[in-house]
Chain A
Amino acid sequence: DVQLLESGGALLQPGGTLRLSCTASGFNFGSYAMSWVRQAPGKGLEWVSAITGSGATTYYADSVKARFTISRDNAKNTLFLQMNSLRAEDTALYFCAKSRVRLPSAFDSWGLGTLVTVSS
C-alpha cells in the first residue's frame, strides 16, 4: 500500500524558516511527480508546489514563489518543502500528495498532513 508520512510542522514566528519532509513507501517513488497542498484552518485546498519524478522540474503557486523550494531525494524516498520568509497566511495543514504519473497530474494518494502555524 502507498503510504505518505509528513513531518516537520511547527509553531514559529513570522519571517521564520521551516523544512517539511514527506517519507514515501509502497511505490516506486522516483517514477511519480509529487506535490504539496495546504489547507488553512476551516478553509479549502490550495496547491502549493509540484516536482517531476526525476526532480528536474519544479512548479509553484504564485503565493509561495521565491519563498518556498520543493525538492526530493529519490534514493531516500523523501519529498521536501523548504519554507522561508513565513507569513501568518502560510498557517495551514500541509499535505504531500502523489501524482498518478511521472508528470504532475491528479493526486491519487495523500498523507495525513503536518501543521504549520505562523504567529507572533
Chain B
Amino acid sequence: DIQLTQSPSFLSASVGDRVTITCRASQGINTYLAWYQQKQGKAPKLLIYSASTLQNGVPSRFSGSGSGTEFTLTISSLQPEDFATYYCQQLDSSLLFTFGPGTKVAVK
C-alpha cells in the first residue's frame, strides 16, 4: 500500500506569510494527488486535484506542484480564513485512496 507523509505536521504563521506544505508518497503516483482544507467541525473542501489543478472557486493564492513522490501545496499570502488543517490524498493504480496525516496551520 502507498503511504503518504506530510511535513510539517503543524506550523504557525501570520497573515500575509507564504506557506508551503509538503506531501511525500512511498511510491510514485504520477500526479494522482489532491489537496483538501478542513476547518474545525466542517467537511473537507477540495482545493487542488491532479497535483496542480485549482478546483473551481478556490482562490488563486493556493497552488500545487509536484509529481512522482514529492508534492507541495503553497499559499502565497496567508489570509485569516486559511487557518485550518490541510490534507493530501492520493489515488493509486488500484483506485484505492489514501490521505496524508494532515498539517495544521495556526496563528502565530
Contacts and interface: CB of A to CB of B under 8 A. Distances in A.
Interface of A: 35, 37, 44-47, 50, 59, 61-62, 95, 100, 103-108, 110-113
B46 A62 contact: no
B49 A100 contact: yes
Given A62-B1, A100-B49, A104-B91, A45 B43 contact: no
A44 B91 contact: no
Given A105-B49, A106-B34, A95 B43 contact: yes
Please give me the 5 A-B residue pairs with the lowest Cβ-Cβ distance, nearest first.
Answer: A106-B49, A47-B97, A110-B43, A106-B34, A45-B99
Contacts of A103: 95
Between B55, B99, B101, B102, the greatest number of chain A beta carbons within 10 A of the residue's beta carbon is seen for B99
Interface of B: 1, 34, 36, 38, 43-46, 49-50, 55, 87, 89, 91, 94-102
B43 A113 contact: yes
A84 B54 CA distance: 38
Given A62-B1, A105-B49, A45 B44 contact: yes
Given A104-B95, A106-B89, 16 more contacts: A37-B44, A44-B100, A45-B89, A47-B98, A47-B99, A50-B95, A59-B96, A61-B96, A95-B43, A104-B91, A106-B46, A106-B50, A106-B55, A107-B36, A107-B44, A110-B43
B33 to A, nearest CB: 9
